[in-house]
């Protein structure tokens, strides 16, 4: 169960069937100052990722393309329809570059090739975090504008 403190945290999910890659990503990002207040979650399959998507509400997802139970591209396509603001960063092998480009056309914001450069991954994650923060500010301003409109209409 999430606490109020957890609900203020941004959640990052890594969807990859290679546990060492997931651990490496989390280990690296945890020690970067901009990610100290991030909740990290993991999924090893498309099915698990779909379940976690509903439960965890991740803002940023590091997504492997090749998973044991399906294609990560289909997960991106499906998730972006329902949650268009999720920032997807595709993790891909060199042989999957065409599929990484396809993921970008589905709405992924960037991709990283294996073997992972943690420095590059950190830069891309920082950019994704900045986009999430800007989305949050825009949505908050929109919410406040709607609240202001309602107050005006109540006064009439």
83: left (phi over 0), alpha (psi -120 to 50) or beta: beta
**pTM for the model:** 0.83
What number of residues does the chain have?
Answer: 156
Domain locations in the chain? 4-155
Residue by residue, pLDDT tens for the chain (156 residues) are: 444 444 468 999 999 999 999 999 999 999 999 999 999 999 999 999 999 998 999 999 999 998 999 889 999 999 999 999 999 999 988 777 888 889 999 999 999 999 999 999 999 999 999 998 888 777 767 767 787 655 444 444
Of 55, 54, 71, 72, the residue nearest 63 (C-alpha)? 72
Q: How far apart are CA 138 and CA 118, in angstroms?
A: 30
The correct answer on CATH 1.10.10.1800 for the domain covering 4-155 is no
């Amino acid at each position: 169960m999430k606490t109020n403190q957890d609900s203020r945290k941004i959640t990052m999910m890594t969807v990859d069937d290679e546990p060492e890659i997931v651990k490496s990503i989390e280990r690296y990002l945890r020690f970067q100052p901009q990610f100290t207040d991030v909740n990290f979650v993991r999924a090893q399959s498309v099915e698990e990722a779909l379940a976690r998507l509903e439960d965890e509400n991740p803002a940023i997802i590091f997504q492997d393309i090749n998973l044991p139970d399906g294609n990560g591209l289909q997960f991106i396509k499906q998730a972006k329809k329902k949650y268009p603001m999720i920032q997807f960063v595709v993790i891909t092998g060199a042989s999957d570059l065409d599929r990484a480009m396809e993921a970008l056309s589905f709405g992924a914001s960037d991709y990283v090739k294996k073997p992972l450069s943690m420095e590059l991954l950190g830069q891309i994650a920082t950019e994704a975090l900045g986009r999430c923060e800007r989305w949050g500010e825009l949505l908050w301003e929109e919410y406040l504008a709607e609240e202001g409109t309602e107050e005006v209409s109540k006064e009439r």
